[in-house]
Chains A and B, each alone.
Chain A
Amino acid sequence: MSHPLAGHLEVDDSARTVRHYRYVVERMTRILGGWIALTPELSAKLLMGRHVWDNAQHADAWGKRLPELRAAAQVSEPASEQLVGFMDALEEAEAPGQTIERVVGIYRVLKPHLLATYEAHLARANAVYEPPTCRILARCIEDERRHVTAGETILRHLLRSAALEERARACEARLWGSLQAAGGVTGAGPVTRTSGGSTPPVLSDDASEFIRLERSTGRWPIAAELQAALTAFGDALVAGDTDAARRWLTAAAAPGPEMQGRLRDARGGRHRIVAVARVGAQRLVKLRVEGGREPLTLLLRCVSDGADWRIAMLEAVSASAAQLA
């Protein structure tokens, strides 16, 4: 049995390790914060929103520990250039359609590795003279375990097809390889990962609740006459019958040449309603057409004359990457 005062890190080494932790955690905090606006899915937005503050507190705790180790406060230092490269690669996933890559990078690669690193550090830290570090490690471990579990719950929700699963696997392999090549967050390896296990969620941070909120708009209360008009309009579009489609438009909504071209691209596709909003008695409807020459999302402003519904405005809008489950 080793001596109770035996230790594995000199004070300066301990400070360097803390700076390495702080580099990764601070950068992760900023990346998560920046991604929220770029992520369409509500569940993933809330996941990131909840964890930014936890991670900021971890970075802060590490930064405040530094002066106690004869080092400057709140300083971050990457373990190596390769680690900077790993973080750069992680951060690259900023397109709206890359939520899977964002969640995989943080919740299947970086956080599980941080968790394993913290656990290994805690297991080796000296219980007599390193309790200040141990307390920070214990708090970070508890939070990271909860985060990894929550992230995995969101990923199971997002990975709805074999193709998406494959995308996630490819991203995970690429980033994990990069992190391994960097020697992990401390640059000294071993580069391992720990799963979140079966950490019970707390109500304020329950990923399954985020998913429920994302799915909360199941069906829209939509008048039968409006539904019939939209179905007829959509059917005419995908049948390529522009005359029949135009019957549902008011004179003000008559499409110009460019829009006519877009509408022709809908031929052969399938249509479905993806949004219904109301402004007074009018309805704003998003109609999505897929499977034609080009996918198309139309925003329609629908007005009723008391008996029939007509489309008083029609424009093509950019489709979000996020389709409701």
Chain B
Amino acid sequence: MERPIAYDKLAREDRLVRMRAREVAQLKVDQGLPPFPDLLSRDSIKERVHGIMVGELQAMEGAGRTVYDFPDAPWEFTMDMARQVWDESRHVEIYVRLLEHLDGYIGEFPETTILWRCACAEDAAARVAGVNRGLEGLACDVFNQLVHIARKMGDPILERAVDYVLADEITHVRMGSKWLTRLTEGDPERRRRAIEFQETIDERFNLGGVRREGPHDVVPISIATEARREGGFTDEEIARLLRTTQRSAVY
């Protein structure tokens, strides 16, 4: 099997329409819509949940590739990544069921592969930094906010299911923090490159100011400071992320 695989090898059923994130955002902006779904209506929550569902699909695929792509990494690393595959496969099922709960269907919105592209880094340290800390950190932000919104709108199904997924995601961030350190021990240059990669992902997913500090029902994506801390982000890293959200002006 090819190792690693090219971005465009990601296999999909016909019912999913794949499109670049910026094209989708542009189509929305052209129609006077926000580029990223807010959480103000059941329909926009459904769109957000669909986006998370395909994100979980790509996270499962990405973790699976990490199990395969790095046979020489420490065995405990493979174990953590295999565990993550299992978690993400359950998350896919959870979000497909939540989509049904919200009267949606798989393929109702286009799939963007921006997450998958981040999961294709060729170095294991960069991959865990980018995926487990950058993307799973984003997942913590999004899920933490969704739990609060679900509680506010009185949807215990959404609230409880997403809260369990959030607990898993914090575990994945913790794995990322652990392996970023272990894989780069004695190699500061490798660590620097991995962190740089993570920061480019953080910057990209600030989505031009969409992600920022603020109340859950006011800002489009609120930063889950506490969940991030539980996952091993330092106060300094959280402060840096908050600073970058203030300067990301372009989507």
Contacts and interface: CB of A to CB of B under 8 A. Distances in A.
Interface residues of B, number: 55
A213 interface: yes
A268 interface: no
B60 A45 contact: yes
A49 B85 contact: yes
A30 B71 CA distance: 8
A46 B107 contact: no
Given A56-B83, A213-B96, A277 B11 contact: no
B49 to A, nearest CB: 14
Contacts of A301: 27
Contact of A216 (B11, B14, B16, B106): B106
Contacts, number: 172
B79 A56 contact: yes
Given A33-B65, A50-B86, A56-B83, A40 B13 contact: yes
Interface stretch (B87-95, B174-182, B210-218, B225-233): B87-95
Interface in B202-239: none
Contact of A280 (B33, B83, B106): B33
Interface in A44-76: 45-46, 48-50, 52-57, 60, 63, 74
B157 interface: no
A177 B92 CA distance: 37
A85 to B, nearest CB: 15
Contact of B1 (A31, A49, A50): A31
Nearest to B30: A280
Interface stretch (B2-10, B135-143, B241-249): B2-10
B68 A49 contact: no
B109 A277 contact: yes
A39 B11 contact: yes
Interface string B128-146: 0000000000000000000
Nearest to B61: A37
Contacts of B62: 37
Contact of B15 (A38, A274, A278): A274
B75 interface: yes
Nearest to A36: B64
A46 B93 contact: yes
Which of A41, A60, A217 gathers most chain B CB within 10 Å?
A217
Interface in A247-293: 274-282, 284, 286, 288
A188 interface: no
Given A39-B11, A279-B109, A321-B11, 15 more contacts: A33-B81, A37-B5, A37-B61, A37-B64, A52-B67, A55-B82, A56-B83, A217-B107, A275-B17, A275-B107, A278-B109, A280-B28, A297-B14, A322-B11, A324-B14
Interface of A: 29-42, 45-46, 48-50, 52-57, 60, 63, 74, 91-92, 94, 96, 204, 209-210, 213-214, 216-217, 220, 274-282, 284, 286, 288, 297, 299, 301, 317, 319-324
19 contacts: A34-B67, A36-B65, A45-B89, A48-B64, A49-B64, A50-B90, A52-B67, A53-B83, A94-B1, A213-B93, A216-B106, A274-B14, A276-B108, A277-B110, A279-B110, A284-B110, A301-B27, A319-B14, A320-B14
Interface of B: 1-3, 5, 9-19, 24, 27-28, 31, 33, 57, 60-69, 71, 75, 78-79, 81-83, 85-86, 88-90, 92-93, 96-97, 100, 105-110, 116
